[in-house]
Amino acid sequence: NAGVMQNPRHLVRRRGQEARLRCSPMKGHSHVYWYRQLPEEGLKFMVYLQKENIIDESGMPKERFSAEFPKEGPSILRIQQVVRGDSAAYFCASSPRSTLTGELFFGEGSRLTVL
């Protein structure tokens, strides 16, 4: 019974490179949320997607960041031309329904370090 799977768990990039983070939701879940967590801080909402649709991207920076959740395959959060300030833990969460009861199932996170 696989939970939310994220990979890679750890990613090191140099400034200017691209980072791709992948998230496979729990089986039967079609709603995916991406959050960013800086050290000693809470979770900051980035984007909410359903299959093939971006529902709410109000928390995602307009430049360099993009997200997708294709019909087949995992959701991907892409960060282009990374900068040191992008260093953070990126958590993906999934939910079986759109009306939130708060039951978000989180993956273990992908920790991005930008050198």
Partner 1 sequence: QKEVEQNSGPLSVPEGAIASLNCTYSDRGSQSFFWYRQYSGKSPELIMSIYSNGDKEDGRFTAQLNRASQYVSLLIRDSQPSDSATYLCAVFWDTGRRALTFGSGTRLQVQP
The contact set with partner 1 (CB under 8 A) reads: 33, 35, 40-45, 48, 55-56, 58-59, 91, 98, 100-104, 106-109
- Assigned token pair, 90: 């990126």
Residue 70 burial (C-beta neighbours within 10 Å; 0-12, 13-18, 19+): exposed
Q: How far is the CB of 19 from partner 1 (least distance, A)?
A: 19
46 vs 27: CA distance, rounded Å: 22
Of 18 and 52, which has the nearer Cβ to partner 1?
A: 52
Q: How far is the CB of 17 from partner 1 (least distance, A)?
A: 25
Of 17 and 113, which has the nearer Cβ to partner 1?
A: 113
108 vs 115: CA distance, rounded Å: 22
- Assigned token pair, 38: 């800086």
Of 68 and 108, which has the nearer Cβ to partner 1?
A: 108
Q: How far is the CB of 16 from partner 1 (least distance, A)?
A: 28
